[in-house]
Amino acid sequence: MKVLVFGAGQLAQMMYLAAAPLGVEVYALDVNHREVINPVSKAKLDMSIDYAIQDVNVVTAEFEHVPEDLLELAEKSGKLHPNMAAILTGADRVREKQILDSNDIPNCPHRIVNDVSELDETIQALGNKIIFKASRDGYDGYGQWRLLNMDEKPKLNQAFASLDLKRVPLVAETMLNFDREISIIGARNASGEVACFDIAENLHHEGQLHVSVAPATNLKKTTTQEATDIFTRIANALNYVGVLAVELFQIGDSLLVNEIAPRVHNSGHWTQKGANTCQFEQHVRAVLGFPLGYTKSQGVTAMINIIGCTSFSRDLLSIPGCHLHWYGKEVREKRKMGHINIVADSYKDLGDKMLTLLQYLPEEYFPLLKDEAKRLIAS
């Protein structure tokens, strides 16, 4: 069987590697150059887009910002999973908010800003601590502006006046004092069956995910049940097929949806060694109609992103339970170059291993690792 992935980055690469043992061949489409390539070697394959779509059993996507003409082409073939509407929802925060609100799914208090003249009304409605997000094309902290006090309002007025808010509106959200950010990754197949992985606890720095720990510490059963219910309601509302990520803010015992991602997700990379079935294999299973895999965690796991850095020692592999995943990209600031997974038997053991890991890493690129390791040791 064959799968075509729209997008040719690390997620397509890891999907390829997970699919191979199942006897599934994966191609990738570089959507910028409109070339079908091998997701690992990046070698160009001698096939057109039309031929590739005709040749494969399923078309899927590794990211949500796929040109709409390509999504339409795949949708017409009847092979696109998840469907075009679901992918577009993940690419547009306005659509995302509409799905959440229309299904009574709790999310951050928000307003849609279509013109800079609406700024005063937005502040009056949401308060004077607001995060403004571009409704499209913003990720990893890009396309975001913060209002922390009213002295910053003139700068925001100036910044927003230069934007085409009719074409790309802003989503303004109240900045909440949440306890932590968590995410739930799961899969839904065409029959409506849902299988979720354990909830991960996520630590961000300058808008980027740096560390995920799964299962999240100090989770109540009611929180897990609520997150699973939210996931299922979103997946059903989208008639979703494949792996879906739902990022959540936890405030006390309440959960609010922050974002959804219609694809395999960075905060699910821990599943590669930390779960019985990894998210990449699970996505392939779901879109091809194979039985969904067992999602139980195997110990506790930390996923550490390697961001903008290549100068580290491969001797980190001497740490028991430590696994390196390298993407083979050209280095640049804030670029995700790879990630490290560490699996342990307990949170204390995991924290100890993370402290050992720092011996092999330039600490300035991993600013959250030491404190998180100490927190896990004390938990």
Q: pLDDT tens, 230-253? A: 999 999 999 999 999 999 999 999
Q: Domain ranges for the chain, please list them.
A: 2-80, 109-174, 180-378
Residue with the larger pLDDT of the pair 189 and 163: 189
The rounded distance, in Å, linking the Cα atoms of 286 and 289 is: 5
CB distance 352 to 327 below 8 Å: no
CA neighbor of 95 nearest in space, from 139, 130, 144, 136: 136
Query: Fold for domain 2-80?
Result: Rossmann fold (3.40.50)
Distance of CA 242 to the CA centre of its chain: 14
pLDDT (mean) for 136-156: 80
- Over pLDDT 90: what percentage of the chain? 90
pLDDT at res. 143: 83
* 356-to-235, 244, 304, 320, 369 alpha-carbon distances in Å: 39, 33, 13, 11, 11
Specify the amino acid at residue 137. D
Judge if 109-174 and 180-378 fold alike in CATH terms.
no
Using the predicted structure, report yes or no on whether residue 97 has a pLDDT greater than 90: yes
pLDDT on residue 139: 60
The residue length of the chain stands at 379
Question: Per mean pLDDT, which range of 30-34, 277-281, 330-334 is the poorest?
Answer: 330-334
What residues are paired with 42 via a beta bridge? none
HSE at residue 170, side-chain half, CA atoms within 13 A, is 27
Question: Please, which pLDDT band fits residue 141 given cuts at 50, 70 and 90?
Answer: low
* Residue 302 near residue 213, CB atoms below 8 Å: yes
Can you tell me the distance from the alpha carbon of 89 to that of 262, in angstroms, rounded to the nearest whole number? 8
CATH number 3.40.630.30 is the correct assignment for the domain at 109-174: no
Q: Count the neighbouring beta carbons within 10 Å of the beta carbon of residue 166.
A: 8
Q: Strand 208-214 and strand 300-307: pairing?
A: antiparallel
When pLDDT is averaged across residues 273-281 and rounded to a whole number, the result is: 97
Please check whether residue 144 is in contact with residue 259, taking contact to mean a CB–CB distance below 8 angstroms.
no
Q: Average pLDDT of 276-298?
A: 97
Give the C-alpha separation, 357 to 359, whole Å: 5
What are the tens digits of pLDDT across the range 345-367?
999 999 999 999 999 999 999 99
Q: Is the pTM of this model over 0.85?
A: yes
Over the stretch 57-81, which tens digit does the pLDDT of each residue have? Answer: 999 999 999 999 999 999 999 999 9
Does the domain spanning 180-378 belong to CATH 3.30.470.20? yes
With a cut of 90, say whether residue 305 has pLDDT above it: yes
What's residue 128's pLDDT?
A: 86
Q: How confident is the model at residue 140 (pLDDT cuts 50, 70, 90)?
A: low
What percentage of the chain exceeds 70 in pLDDT?
99
Average pLDDT, the chain: 95
